[in-house]
Structure 1
Amino acid sequence: MPPFTFDEAQIAAWVAPIFWPFLRILAVFTSAPVLSSRSVPIRVRIGLSFLVAVAIAPILPSAPVYGLNDPSAVAIATQQVVVGLAIGFVVRLLFGVMELAGEIIGFQMGLNFAAFFDPAMNSQSSAVARMFTQLTALLFVVLNGHVLVLGAVANSFAYIPVGVDFLPRLQGLEIYKLGAELFASAFWIALPVVGVLMFTNMALGVISRVAPQMNIFAIGFPITLVVGMLAIALVLPDMLDPFNILMGKLVAMFGA
C-alpha cells in the first residue's frame, strides 16, 4: 500500500478557505465593540474567530488559492485585516453615537465634572456617557447585533473577495462620511433631554431675576440634575428606534 502523501498545493487548498476568513473575522472581533473589550481574553477571540470561519467557509464564494509562503500572501493577509478592521470600526461608530449623546446630556446636566476613566473605551467618560454605552451594549446583544455583524462579515467576501484590489471598493463605501452621521445622530438622540434642560435653565434664569435674593447657584445644580434624570428616564424607552435605524444603516454598508 503506497504511503499517504500530500504536497504544498493540497495543504494550501485545505487551509486557505479557512485561514483568510479567520484573519478577517479576528480583525472584526479585535475592533468591534463588546468582544474587543479587555474583559474578553485573546484566546476566546481567537477560538471564536476560528469556529466562525469554519462555520461560514462552505457558504463563502470560491477564491483563488494562495500558498502561505507565496510572495502575495502578506498582501492578502493585510487585505483581510484591513477589511475586518473597517467592519469593526463601522460598528464601533454606533457605540460612539450613543456615547457622544451621553456626553452632550451629561454636559448639560453638569455631570461632566464627574468624569472617570472607562477601561472599556480606554478613555475618560462621564457617568451619563458610561450608562448610555452600557445600554447600547445590552441592546446590541439583545437585538442580535452580533448576528448582523457576522452576516456583514460573510457578505463582505462577496463585495470584497480575497485577492482583489480592495482599496477602491473600501473607498466606494464612503466610510469617512459616517462622521457627519455620527454627530447628527448623537444630537438627534440627545435633543429631547437637552431641550428640557435648556427650558429648565431659562426658568432658573427668570427666577434669578424675579427673586435676586435667592441663591440660584445653590439650587440650580440639584434642580438641573433631577430634571435631567427624569428626562432621561422618559427618553430611554424611545432609544430603540434610533438604535435600529443606525444599526441598519451601518450594517447595510456591507450588504447584511
Structure 2
Amino acid sequence: MVSAPIFSGRQLPAQYKIGLSAILSLLCVGLLDEPNLSSLPQWELTLLILKEIFVGITIGLSAGILFYSVQMAGALLDFQIGFFMANLFDPTFETNTQLTGRLKNMLAILVMLSIDGHHLLIQGILASFDWISLTATIPSWMDGKVSTFILDFFKQMFMIGFMMAAPIIGTLFIVDVALGIISRTVPQMNIIAIAPPIKILIHFLIYILVLPSFFYLLKILFENMIDSIGSILKILGA
C-alpha cells in the first residue's frame, strides 16, 4: 500500500488503504500454515516484522520503478515542446508532473486496471509467503542481489521511457533544425512567435500517429513488471 503503483496514490483515501491492508492480512493468515510465533522473544518478533515490511516495500518498488518510465517519457516530451513549465499535481506518485506525463500516466493506469494488473500485485503478496518463510530472520537478500536487481530496473526504466518519447523527440528535433534554417534565410520572419505553435501542432499530429506504439510499449512494460515481481521473490527467498 505504500510503494506499489495505484495503491500508493493519494486518489485512494487512507481509510480505504488501511481497510484493504487489513483484509489482505486476514486472507494471508487463512492461507498460511506456519508455526505459532507467539513464543518467540520480543526482539526476534520485531525483526521479523521489519523483514516483512522490507519485503512488501521491495515488491511495490519492483512494480513502481518500471511504471515511472511513463512519467519520464512525458517529461522528456514536454521539455521538447515547451510544456515543461506547466506542472500538474499527479496524485498517483504524489509529485508534480507535466501535461503529457499526466496524460500518459492516466492511460497507463487505465491499461493496468483493464488487464487486472492490480490483481497480480495482490497475488504477488500472497506468493511472497511461499517463497519467503515467516520464520526466516536473515534471508538471502543481504548479499547485494536486491540492489543489483533494482539497478537493472532503473536501466530498463530509462530505456522504455526513451523509446516512448523517441519518435516525437526526433521529429521535433528536425523541426527545430528547419526553423533554424528558416530564421537564417528569412530574418524578417519572427521565429520566436511562430515556432511554439508549430511545434505544438506537429507534436499532437505525431502523437496521434504513434499512440498505438505507446500501448505496445505499455504491454512490454507490464510484462516486465509481472516478471520482476516473480524474480524479486525468488531473489529474496533463495
TM bucket (normalised to shorter chain) is: 0.7 to 0.9
Change (3 A) 1:175 1:135: same
Unaligned runs of 5+ in 2: 232-238
Cα RMSD of the aligned pairs, angstroms, is 2.2
Aligned counterpart for 1:172 among listed residues 140, 145, 160:
145
Change (3 A) 1:106 1:86: same
1:122, distance to aligned residue in structure 2 (A): 2.7
Q: TM-score, normalised by structure 1?
A: 0.80
Partners of 2:76 and 2:165 within 8 A in 1? yes
Change (3 A) 1:157 1:254: farther
1:132-143 equivalences under 5 Å are: 132-143=104-115
1:120, distance to aligned residue in structure 2 (A): 3.9
1:95 aligns with 2:67: yes
The letter for the 2-side match of 1:66 is L
Partners of 2:80 and 2:172 within 8 A in 1? yes
1:1-256 equivalences under 5 Å are: 29-60=1-32, 62-67=33-38, 70-71=41-42, 72-164=44-136, 165-166=138-139, 168=141, 171-173=144-146, 174-255=149-230
Comparing 132-141 with 42-51, greater Cα deviation is found at 42-51
The letter for the 2-side match of 1:232 is Y
Partners of 1:160 and 1:169 within 8 A in 2? no
Q: TM-score, normalised by structure 2?
A: 0.86
Counterpart-to-counterpart distance in 2, 1:167 and 1:153: 18
Partners of 2:48 and 2:135 within 8 A in 1? yes
The letter for the 1-side match of 2:129 is F
Change (3 A) 1:52 1:178: same
Q: Paired residues, what number?
A: 227
Q: Give the % identical residues.
A: 29
Change (3 A) 1:235 1:49: same
1:119, distance to aligned residue in structure 2 (A): 4.2
Comparing 245-254 with 182-191, greater Cα deviation is found at 245-254
Q: Kindly report structure 1 stretches of 4+ aligned residues shifted beyond 6 Å.
A: none
Tell me the secondary structure at the aligned position of residue 187 of structure 2. Answer: coil
1:39, distance to aligned residue in structure 2 (A): 2.7
Tell me the secondary structure at the aligned position of residue 166 of structure 2. Answer: helix
Partners of 2:63 and 2:228 within 8 A in 1? no
Unaligned runs of 5+ in 1: 1-28
Change (3 A) 1:250 1:68: farther
Counterpart-to-counterpart distance in 2, 1:170 and 1:241: 36
Partners of 2:66 and 2:154 within 8 A in 1? no
Counterpart-to-counterpart distance in 1, 2:35 and 2:177: 66
Tell me the secondary structure at the aligned position of residue 108 of structure 2. Answer: helix
